[in-house]
Amino acid sequence: MTAPTCRLCSAELTHTFVDLGMSPPCEAILEAGQLDQGETFYPLHVRVCPQCLLVQLPAYIPAEDIFSHYAYFSSYSDSWVAHARAFVDGAASRLGLGAGSFVVEVASNDGYLLQHVVERGIRCLGIEPAANVAQAAVDKGIPTEVFFLGETTGADAATRNGRADLVVANNVFAHVPDIVDFAKGLRALVADDGFVSIEIPHLLRLVEGREYDTIYHEHYSYLSLLTTSRVLAAAGLTVVDVDELPTHGGSLRTWSTPTHSAGEPSAAVAKVLADEAAAGLHTLDGHVGFSTAVAEVRNDLVEFLVECHRKGATVAAYGAPGKGNTLLNHCGIRADLLPFAVDRNPFKHGKFLPGTHIPVHPVERLAEEKPDYVLILPWNLRTEIAAQLEYVRSWGGRLVVPLPALEVF
């Protein structure tokens, strides 16, 4: 069998970062009528490039099959909307954005971020490939176009709308199989003196926090600052600054400009690169050992659920995020150990999680069933969700997070 090749440098991908076996697409939530039909499972075999060190999942599923109709709406997370507002406020101050400015967001989802740009009276445009999600933004009065970004589509959008002072691409860079063409699309959208701001889950934090549930088919790349800089450089963009963020278990926000006008990178860039190098992520050998950490997470969670089952204690899941489906399928957890999940998104109510067939109900189901434990699958929103679930303690219930280490509290 021919080895897959690197999406950045085309080297053969012969080195494994972690192999999670087979799993269904994480957002392929099921209707009741689909439960007796076959499901397609795809490999979750993540490689690391021996040449450029990009950690990546081969494109087992085309992006068009995942993102043309999407089940994730960003605005259902209050903390994420607040995060977006803080970003807009900070970017407006940093870049002097005002009434004469133009902001473009790629993968703009339901307008969770651009609504704050509109509030400031700044002209903006959303680019969102999922038509159903884009419509939610349009309904809020946010100009949104539906297409996948690449060099050609980015240049076309810039011709029609003008080039932007700020191009935002939050938590999408990892979601594109042709990451270089996507980066060239960002370059096509931004003005020669403008900025591109990208937020990415940081590979360093993924490794440190054993955050393997962030691996799923729509995450094609797992990025360090080193590899992010290499991808952007291939598109004529240079990283000049970086912010370290707590979101998604630990993220980076990079600020880049067209290379011909870029100044010297900030001290923060040097600091993050040094941290990565110290952790071994600038060498091939430094990527070895993650599989052992993954096995420990799986064993702890399965042992906890089996022990609850033996004792007759009940467990329900809070949230039905994509990352939760990676975790549940890798651990082989089904409805016998986790009878149901709840979620705030009404799109998922009355449906079933892919692979595991665990039913999803409205959040009110928790108060009706009063489980002994509530397993928080979107553990990265632990603080927000724990506050929302404080009422669980009224019947003696306790909360559980599976990562970075199993904790009952």
Average pLDDT (269-291) is: 96
pLDDT of residue 80: 80
pLDDT of residue 69: 54
- pLDDT grade, residue 74 (50/70/90)? low
Residue 11 structure tokens:
């080297």
Residue 161 has pLDDT above 80, yes or no: yes
Average pLDDT (221-239) is: 98
pLDDT of residue 295: 96
User: Total structural domains in the chain?
Assistant: 2
Domain membership of residue 139 (yes or no) is yes
Judgement on whether residues 261 and 150 belong to the same structural domain of the protein: yes
Judgement on whether residues 273 and 296 belong to the same structural domain of the protein: no
Interatomic CA distance for residues 51 and 132, integer angstroms? 39
- Measured over the CA atoms of residue 353, residue 359, residue 364 and residue 369, the dihedral's sign is negative
User: Residue 161: which H helix or E strand, with range?
Assistant: helix 151-161
pLDDT of residue 247: 86
Task: Give the number of other Cβ atoms within 10 Å of residue 19's Cβ.
Answer: 13
Label residues 349-370 b or e (16+ Cβ within 10 Å = b).
bebbbbbbebbbbeeebbeeee
Judgement on whether residues 282 and 346 belong to the same structural domain of the protein: no
Domain membership of residue 10 (yes or no) is no
Cα angle at 42 between 38 and 48, to 5 degrees?
175
CA 50 to chain centre: 25
Judgement on whether residues 233 and 114 belong to the same structural domain of the protein: yes
Residue 198 structure tokens:
């990208």
- Measured over the CA atoms of residue 213, residue 147, residue 90 and residue 202, the dihedral's sign is positive
User: Which domain does 233 fall in, by range?
Assistant: 67-287
Average pLDDT (229-258) is: 96
What single string gives the DSSP state of each residue in 197-246? EEEEEBHHHHHHTT-GGG--TT--EEB-HHHHHHHHHHTTEEEEEEEEE-
pLDDT of residue 61: 83
Q: What is the pLDDT of residues 171-198, one digit of tens each?
A: 999 999 999 999 999 999 999 999 999 9
pLDDT of residue 250: 92
Judgement on whether residues 189 and 305 belong to the same structural domain of the protein: no
Residue 399 has pLDDT above 80, yes or no: yes
Label residues 226-254 b or e (16+ Cβ within 10 Å = b).
bbbbbbbebbbbbbbbbbbbebbbbbbbb
Residue 1 has pLDDT above 60, yes or no: no
Domain membership of residue 13 (yes or no) is no
Q: Please state, in angstroms and as integers, the Cα–Cα distance from residue 254 to each residue in 94, 196, 224, 312, 313, following that order.
A: 14, 8, 11, 48, 45
Domain membership of residue 62 (yes or no) is no
Average pLDDT (223-229) is: 98
The CATH number of residue 308's host domain is: 3.40.50.720
Query: How many Cα atoms occupy the beta-carbon half-sphere of 348 within 13 Å?
Result: 30
Q: What is the pLDDT of residues 80-111, one digit of tens each?
A: 889 999 999 999 999 999 999 999 999 999 99
Judgement on whether residues 156 and 249 belong to the same structural domain of the protein: yes
Interatomic CA distance for residues 94 and 41, integer angstroms? 45
> What's this model's pTM, rounded to 2 decimal places?
0.88
* pLDDT-above-70 percentage for the chain: 96
Among candidate residues 247, 270, 287, the one where a domain is terminated = 287
Judgement on whether residues 80 and 130 belong to the same structural domain of the protein: yes
Mean model confidence pLDDT for the chain: 94
User: Residue 254: which H helix or E strand, with range?
Assistant: strand 251-258
Average pLDDT (350-374) is: 98
- pLDDT grade, residue 60 (50/70/90)? confident
* pLDDT-above-90 percentage for the chain: 89
- pLDDT grade, residue 368 (50/70/90)? very high
What's the longest Cα–Cα distance across the chain?
Answer: 65
Judgement on whether residues 333 and 274 belong to the same structural domain of the protein: no
Among candidate residues 287, 310, 337, the one where a domain is terminated = 287
Average pLDDT (317-325) is: 94
Among candidate residues 255, 287, 319, the one where a domain is terminated = 287
- Measured over the CA atoms of residue 134, residue 138, residue 144 and residue 145, the dihedral's sign is positive
